[in-house]
Amino acid sequence: MISNLFVVGPAGSGKSTFTAAFREWMLKNEYDTVVVNLDPGADSLPYAPDIDVRDLVSLEDVMSEYGLGPNGAQIVAADLVANYVEELKREVESYESDYVIYDTAGQLELFAFRAASNFLVDYLGEERAMLAFMFDPALAKTPSGFVSLLLLSATVHFRFYRPYINVLSKVDLLDDEALENIASWSENWDKLYGALIEDSPGMYRELNVELFKALESMDVFKKLIPTSARMLYGYEDIYTAMQMVFGGGEDLEKR
């Protein structure tokens, strides 16, 4: 059975870079892996996709055919992708690979908050699909930014009803102090709580206490997996997390 990983996250959070680096790690470790670009508007990708939705739907064609600018064309193109699921799936299956990484649309909302995407994940991912949600370090380094990413990630999870992991991208861009802060928030809710309250405008403190309780009850606190494409760091942890989700902790291939 194929294990499918959908890489999602806000614009600029490093999805394509993550995809490129994780594939590199997988191939180095001899895990047969196919990479699918699902972004019709991708400019230049840091990897050569095995399967590329741009061969089926191109943002430029949509712009000229429908007479739309980039904003409108991105929405239409995202919806059009769903028309090609059968073709995409046939292509994926022709590789007879164990793992598939899907690099999703540049803007999270084009993937996560359009009705077509549920169909896409269900059809392509069948019963073995999970999401990797990217935390951009520029936003994750403040307590309220970190919590808003937790909330956003939980919202996306809720849209798809699929297992997910949270990934901190581009850790090489963070100084030691920021990285330590983020790591401690991710491992210790009390620390995050303290930092958040300290950082909140007075009138919102009480609201944030409630919000925090809500996050606790939603079980959104997962250890964030730090990665760096530049240092090819953290990808073994991603692989292990996939095994935990799909194989109950055992290596799927029992190497």
Q: Which residues are at the interface with its own copies (CB under 8 A)?
A: 10-12, 39, 41-44, 59, 68-75, 106-110, 113-115, 136, 138-139, 144-145, 147-149, 151-152, 154-155, 158-159, 161, 200-201, 204, 207, 210-211, 213-215, 217-219
Distance of closest approach, residue 118 Cβ to its own copies, in angstroms: 9
HSE-CB of 250 using CA atoms within 13 angstroms: 5
Contact of 11 with 108, CB cutoff 8 Å:
yes
CA pair distance 145, 21, nearest whole angstrom: 25
Closest CA to 107 of 7, 8, 11: 11
Contact of 101 with 19, CB cutoff 8 Å:
yes
Q: Which is nearer to its own copies, 92 or 149 (CB)?
A: 149
Beta bridge partners of 35: 101
Distance of closest approach, residue 202 Cβ to its own copies, in angstroms: 10
Distance of closest approach, residue 156 Cβ to its own copies, in angstroms: 8
Distance of closest approach, residue 229 Cβ to its own copies, in angstroms: 17
- The SS3 call for residue 142 is coil
Q: Which is nearer to its own copies, 26 or 128 (CB)?
A: 128
Q: Which is nearer to its own copies, 95 or 212 (CB)?
A: 212
Alpha-carbon dihedral sign for residues 160, 133, 115, 50: negative
Q: Which is nearer to its own copies, 113 or 184 (CB)?
A: 113
Q: Which is nearer to its own copies, 177 or 210 (CB)?
A: 210
Side chain identity at residue 190, one-letter code: D
Distance of closest approach, residue 92 Cβ to its own copies, in angstroms: 23
CA pair distance 1, 106, nearest whole angstrom: 28
